[in-house]
Chains A and B, each alone.
Chain A
Amino acid sequence: GAVVSQHPSRVICKSGTSVKIECRSLDFQATTMFWYRQFPKKSLMLMATSNEGSKATYEQGVEKDKFLINHASLTLSTLTVTSAHPEDSSFYICSARGGVYGYTFGSGTRLTVV
Chain B
Amino acid sequence: AQKITQTQPGMFVQEKEAVTLDCTYDTSDQSYGLFWYKQPSSGEMIFLIYQGSYDEQNATEGRYSLNFQKARKSANLVISASQLGDSAMYFCAMREGGGHYGQNFVFGPGTRLSVLP
Query: B-contacting residues of A (Cβ < 8 Å)?
Result: 32, 34, 38, 41-44, 46, 91, 93, 95, 97, 100-108, 110
Are the CB atoms of A91 and B43 closer together than 8 Å?
yes
A58 vs B47: C-alpha distance in the bound complex, in angstroms?
A: 25
B44 neighbours in A (Cβ, 8 Å): 105-108
Q: Choose among B45, B47, B110 the residue with the greatest number of A CB atoms under 10 Å from its CB.
A: B45
* B105 close to A (CB within 8 Å): yes
Beyond A43-B107, A107-B42: 15 further Cβ-contacts under 8 Å?
A: A32-B101, A38-B43, A41-B112, A42-B109, A43-B109, A43-B110, A95-B45, A101-B35, A102-B33, A102-B102, A103-B105, A104-B47, A105-B45, A106-B44, A108-B43
Are the CB atoms of A97 and B101 closer together than 8 Å?
yes
Are the CB atoms of A107 and B43 closer together than 8 Å?
yes
Nearest-CB residue, chain A, relative to B46: A105
* B100 close to A (CB within 8 Å): yes
Q: Mark B39-62, 1 if CB is under 8 A from A, else 0.
A: 000111101001000000000000
A102 neighbours in B (Cβ, 8 Å): 33, 95, 100-102
Query: A-contacting residues of B (Cβ < 8 Å)?
Result: 33, 35, 37, 42-45, 47, 50, 91, 95, 100-102, 105, 107-110, 112
Q: Looking at the complex, which one of B47, B109, B112 makes contact with A101 (CB distance below 8 Å)? A: B47
A95 vs B108: C-alpha distance in the bound complex, in angstroms?
A: 16
Q: Looking at the complex, which one of A93, A101, A106 makes contact with B33 (CB distance below 8 Å)? A: A101
Are the CB atoms of B91 and A43 closer together than 8 Å?
yes
A45 vs B37: C-alpha distance in the bound complex, in angstroms?
A: 15
B18 to chain A, nearest CB (A): 25
A95 vs B105: C-alpha distance in the bound complex, in angstroms?
A: 11
A43 neighbours in B (Cβ, 8 Å): 91, 107-110
A108 vs B43: C-alpha distance in the bound complex, in angstroms?
A: 6
- Closest 8 A-B residue pairs measured CB to CB? A105-B45, A107-B44, A108-B43, A101-B50, A102-B101, A43-B107, A43-B109, A102-B100
Are the CB atoms of A44 and B107 closer together than 8 Å?
yes
Pull 23 A–B residue pairs with CB atoms less than 8 Å apart, ordered by A: A32-B101, A38-B43, A41-B112, A43-B107, A43-B109, A43-B110, A44-B45, A44-B91, A44-B107, A95-B45, A95-B105, A100-B50, A101-B33, A101-B35, A101-B50, A101-B95, A102-B33, A102-B102, A103-B95, A105-B37, A105-B44, A108-B43, A108-B45
